[in-house]
Structure 1
Amino acid sequence: MKVKVHKKGIIVIPADVRRRLNISEGSYMELEVEGDKIILKRKMTLLDAYGIDKGMGDLALKELEKLRKEEVEKENNI
């Protein structure tokens, strides 16, 4: 895809790309430079990540609850 660089280094991300990646005014982007390449990534927010992998999140939460319960039991036995 070809884009033009305007004053102050401004480039316009085409509308279809913005829609596909859910980029809107005020969205934050991550910019990386690798050699002669510029890599622009949409920065994921906590709101974006919410529910992204609910199954793994539920497992992680159960594991954390189990570990915390074990810690409390150890503290009570001391």
Structure 2
Amino acid sequence: MEVKVHKKGIIVIPAEVRRRLDVKEGSVLELEVEGDKIILKRKTSLLDAFGIDEDMGGSAVKELEELRKEEIEKESSV
């Protein structure tokens, strides 16, 4: 499959590929360079990995972040 590079380095990922990999507007992709190859990978979030709905998952992630902050503060005060 070929894609064209437009101004500012923009490329369009073909619709077939976006559907197959569930890439939507706002999706985050990881870019790797290996030799002369550019590799784009769909970055999987915790919400994607566990199929949690966005509202419930978002609050769970915030709670985990808060717990981790508290752990870090306790560790640094020792």
What band does the TM-score fall into relative to the shorter chain? 0.5 to 0.7
CA distance in 1, matches of 2:15, 2:33: 23
TM-score normalised by structure 2 residue count: 0.63
Letter of the aligned partner of 1:30 in structure 2?
E
- 5 Å matches for 1:14-33? 14-33=14-33
AA in 1 matched with 2:5:
V
- Report the Cα offset of residue 49 of structure 1: 0.6
Percent identical among aligned pairs is 80
Instruction: For 1:23 and 1:46, locate their aligned partners in 2 and report how far apart those are by CA, in whole Å.
Output: 16
Superposed CA RMSD in Å reads 0.8
CA distance in 2, matches of 1:16, 1:47: 23
Q: Aligned residue pairs: how many?
A: 51
In structure 2, list runs of 5 or more residues that go unmatched.
52-78
Mind listing any 5+ residue stretches in structure 1 that lack a counterpart?
A: 52-78
Aligned-pair distance for 1:48?
1.0
Runs (4+) of structure 1 exceeding 3 A deviation are none
